[in-house]
Amino acid sequence: MAHVVLISMFLLFLRMFGLFLVIPVFSAGALQYSGATDVWAGLAMGSYGITQALMQLPMGWLAERLSLRTALLVGLSLFVIGSLWAYETSTIYGLIGARLVQGMGAIAGLVMGWLTTTVPEGWRARAYMLQGMAVGAGIFGGLLAAPWLYRWLGFRPLFLLLAGAGFLSLILVLIGIRHERSAQPASPDVQHSIWHVLPYLLMTGSSAFLLQFLFFGMPRVFATALRQIYGVAMVVALLGYPLLTWFERRRKYFVATVFAWVLFTVGTGLGVHFLFSWVPWWWLAGCTACSLLGYSMIQPAVAALLARKGRALIHMSANQMAMSAGAGAGGIVAGWLWQWHSSHVDGLVFGVLAGLFSLNLFWLWKDLLHSRQPH
């Protein structure tokens, strides 16, 4: 069991560290490509999430039909190929194509599903927290390193580092995971399984969607203070682990999820508003920290709730599908709004936040009441 947790932690760390070397500076770096505009930069930023979303369920099906090892090798190979293409291309259209190929390597749901099917139920919450720590370390390490490496190396060489992270992951899979068929039989009733966990998918997808507005706008408005903003956000977001531990020991996953959504909603809404206001950088740093703290708690809390629903490979893949679709759509919409309707972005985001928060809260409460009814 220990090797499963360690391998999954390393895979998620390398993946998230590589991705977040690019995301914080993407909207500025993409404009260096030939033919780039804000709209095309947003499409390049979001295209990764679109193919991630489309490939999550096929990857889960491939793991059920063949083996987890085979699916991981296929996904990581596509990610490396897309990263090398992004480094070689000089046009925004090539970058979009490269990001589409990168996104086809959808492995996060497989890794989380593998953990769910391997680790006993009594240890899963702690295993998810360790995975969350690895994801958080990758995200915040990338957030801190991205502005510095961007100034030192430029934008395109960052994709070589992504390819290197993907190659290390390939070696890890070849060495650490045996070639064996999934213990779970593939079931054709995928649609019913997805509908059963739809409230959780909406939560992860909408949070990823709205977070893109902060990441797209900050390099434009606070370019000189990115390291300070992300540094403050990283320190504050580290509180997510002890907070989630406190909730987990009391088995209050629903309360933890709602608490995380409140933090995320307040931080993201105010953060986007401050992008269009003349405020000191530490105001935005506080909002970003609040947003990322909530976001870092939402993911493992939702994973713990999904683990109780069965069909781990499919449900975790669907969760990652929702997250990737939200991130992809968020990047595309953020680029379009920034170019054409930037003066109205904060109001639109506030309205979307309020609507999604209310809808997610209602669905979660309904699901909680249903789960408590005797069957």
Question: How many CA atoms are closer than 13 Å to the CA of 369, on its beta-carbon side?
Answer: 6
| pLDDT tens per residue, range 291-304 | 888 887 777 777 77
Residue 185: its pLDDT value, please?
47
Torsion of CA 276, 288, 316, 200, to 10 degrees: -70
Percent of the chain with pLDDT over 90: 7
For the chain, list the domains and their CATH numbers: 2-177+188-372 (1.20.1250.20)
Per-residue confidence band for 91, with pLDDT thresholds at 50, 70 and 90:
very high
Q: What number is the average pLDDT over the span 281-286?
A: 82
Residues 6+ apart with CB under 8 A from 196: 309
Residue 107: its pLDDT value, please?
79
Torsion of CA 331, 335, 341, 347, to 10 degrees: 20
Q: How far is CA 57 from the centre of its chain?
A: 16
Q: Does 155 or 183 have the greater pLDDT score?
A: 155
Residue 45: its pLDDT value, please?
83
